[in-house]
Structures are given as C-alpha cells and as structure tokens.
Structure 1
Amino acid sequence: MTTAVFLHGLGANGHTFDPIITMLDLDPAIHLACPDAPYPHEGSEFGKQWYSSEGNDDNKIARIDKTLERLTKTLEHIGDLNDMVLVGFSQGAIIALHAAAKGFPVKGVVAIAGKMYEPVAARDNWPSIVLLHDNHDPVIPVTQAQQTFHWLKEAGADPEAFLSNDVGHSISAQMLPIIRQAIMQHHPLSQSTHTEVFS
C-alpha cells in the first residue's frame, strides 16, 4: 500500500502540510506521514530544518548526507521505503531529490520549489520524479530547477516538470491536481489520468 511522506520546508514543521493534505483529498487507503525535520531552526520557536543553510554548497551537501542517514531511520519507522512517495517543499524537496539520488528505493518523488546541489550518478532504477516550480520563485530561482532537471535526465531519470507563474515560493491550488496524480499513480487501486502542464 502506498505511503505518502510529506517533507516540510525550512523553518516549518510537519503540520505545515495539514491544509494541503486536506485539499489533496487522497484515497483514505493511502498512509500519510508528515515527520518533523531533525534539527531546530534558529529563527523559529517551533520550526525545524533538515540541515543548516549557512555556508557554501559543499557544506550543505555534507549536511544533507548526514540528514539522509537520519531520514532513513525515520522512514523505516514509518513503513517500507519501497511503498513510499516523498513529497517535499523547498528544503524538503531538496532532501527528497537527494534521497532519490542516493538510491532510496522509494516509488516516487514530488519536488515542489526545490533543486539539487550537484550532478548525480547515472543508474537505471530511478523512481518517478515530478518537479513543480514557479517561474518567479524569489527563493530558489527556476534556473536551478531547470539545472536539476537536466542533471536528472543525464543520470538516466525521466523527470516530469511543471511550471507555474506568479505564485512565487509556495504551493498553489494549480499544483494540487499534479501532486495528487503523482501520488495516486502509485496506488494499486487508482486509475491514472493525464494531467496537463499548467502555465
């Protein structure tokens, strides 16, 4: 049975996804999990972070590797990784993408307003990957998402990419049908339907 694991952004926590999950209206048989990131965020009383965003990209990559070790244990506690779809926003999307690149045996990744920090090794057993990004994202420029798309293609993945306009660094109502379809396509009782790219 499919488990959708939602990974929140910097300075948020697992409950951030509560209204999004309600609007997604997923099949009740899908198991849902919204874990908190392991580290407190310095600028928020209740916020968490998957890694510190301070320093250069090399520093961040090393921190991501450490976080992925902890994430493995968290996911194993939730269920079988082979049944999971990781849905991440911003820093959570970065973590989800790097988890896929590290070989986490998940079914799929939905990366909203995310990116990768470096090219990834080629292989032939990638999960499905959906990238959603806004053309006017002021936090993670769309060019970084485009670079991530090309890195994934070069590594043998077959990512899908959907672009929005004028929602900035956020999850818009336009994105919800795409997120829902990306999760439901892995649910054994669902019937896949094509979702048009939005503009």
Structure 2
Amino acid sequence: MSLDGVVCQAMAEHKATVIWLHGLGDSGDGFAPIVPALKLPAELGIKFIFPHAPIQPVTINGGMKMRSWYDIVSFDLDKRADEQGVRESAAKVEQLIENEIASGIPANKIILAGFSQGGVIALHLAPRFKAALAGVMALSTYMCAPDKFSAEAIQTSLSVLMVHGSLDEVVPMQAGKQAYDVLQSNGLNVHWSDYPMAHEVCGEEVALIRQWLIERLS
C-alpha cells in the first residue's frame, strides 16, 4: 500500500524534492506549514512531500490507534523502536523516493527529513538506500538498531543535519547524541545543533534548516 500525504509543489521548475516524515500521532499536515516559513528561493525548484504514517495501535498509548511509523512498546531507548515496524515503514518511504527518481529527480537532489519517529525512519533508510541522497535531516530523534548500522549502511559519505532540544523530555538529547556518535564513527558528515527547547521546532532551527537546504540543493 502506497503512502498518501500532503504535497507542496515547487514554485518554479521542479528540480529537487524534500520528503519530510512527521512524528507519532501527527500527520503530514502537521509540518506542511513549514514550507512558507522556510522562505526558500523559488529557483531551487523544491517540491515537498509530507506523507501520512499508517494508522496502527501504539502499545505505550494503551493500544490506541493513531498515525505511527512503528509501534512503541517501551520508553527505554534500546527497546523504543520496533525494528520490524521501522523496516516496513522504511520500505514504504523508499517507494516515495523511487517515484521521485522515476519522475526525473536524481537521488542527489532528494532530501529525506524526519521529526522524532519520522527521524528514526529517515536515519534508518537513507544510509541503506541504493543511491546517495542529497542529505538527511534528523530532528529531535534517535536511531533504531544502532548495533546493525555498520553492517548495513552503504552510503557512508552522506550529509546529515541533526537538531535536538536540550529540554526534550520525550526523546532525551542523549538519545540523539547516541545516534550522532554512531553516524560519526561510521564516517558520515554529521552536523549537530541543539537549542534550549522541548520536543519541538524553534525559530533558530528553522533558519538553520533553511540554510542547510539551500547548501544541499543549490
């Protein structure tokens, strides 16, 4: 089953695509308003895709059904991400990337971004994808199966932007730092920034994202 979502078409000729994955219980609509806030140059021709995660029961929320990229059975970091669910969602997002490539957008003009749960999928998929993407944006997130990264990652020169809130009580910053350390130790080009914020996106972060996207997609 293919993912549906919100699409913000490029303001000029379509030259690049950003696929942006939301967090637990949110939807593609949640991040779509960031497109006008980024004020990106129209000539970059960036199309944004904000897919909706599948609706499924989430164990830590009493089995309530909500949009979720994978089940969360425990708040413990080493058990938080359901690996099978991560891999299943990564396969669905991979199809979105393949669709963009088939439409004529090269892999090196595609950014995979994600917040929280969405960032877990982005960090899992991009290094394992068959072609090198323009970059990965991992916001307020962590890594699934860090012990398998070295064996499975094939794109080890990937550029990664990681941003985290030092006051985040949902995904503690230490969880993001662990992912950062794994990426760095495997040779990826990782930029880390943190801000005194909770599990959210702040204005300074939006400015940083804008600059990074321009650098990666110009």
Which residue of the partner structure matches residue 212 of structure 2?
Answer: 182
Is contact 1:110–1:182 with CA below 8 Å preserved after alignment? no
CA positional deviation for 1:87: 1.8
**What TM-score, normalized to structure 1?**
0.83
- Residue pair 1:129, 1:159 contacting (<8 A) in 2 also: yes
Unaligned runs of 5+ in 1: 189-199
Cα-to-partner distance string for 1:47-70 (whole Å, 9 max, x where unaligned): 521111125738612211121111
Partner in structure 1 of residue 138 of structure 2: 111
For residue 118 of structure 2, what is the amino acid of its counterpart?
Answer: G
More off after superposition, 77-86 vs 105-114: 77-86
The reply on whether 1:6 has 2:32 as its aligned counterpart is no
Alignment of 1:99-138 (within 5 A): 99-103=125-129, 105=131, 106-117=133-144, 118-119=146-147, 120-121=149-150, 125-138=156-169
Partner in structure 1 of residue 124 of structure 2: 98
**Correspondence 1:34 to 2:60:** no
Identical-residue share of aligned pairs (%): 25
Alignment deviations for residues 1-52 of structure 1 (CA, whole Å, 9 cap, x no partner):
2211111111111011122222111223211111111334667x99521111
Aligned residue-pair number: 187
More helix by share: 2
Q: What root-mean-square deviation, in Å, do the aligned CA atoms of Structure 1 and Structure 2 show?
A: 2.5
Would you say the 8 A contact 2:134–2:217 is kept in 1?
A: no
Structure with the bigger percentage of strand:
2
Could you tell me which residue of structure 2 aligns to residue 71 of structure 1? 93
Q: Show structure 2 runs of 5+ residues with no match.
A: 1-14
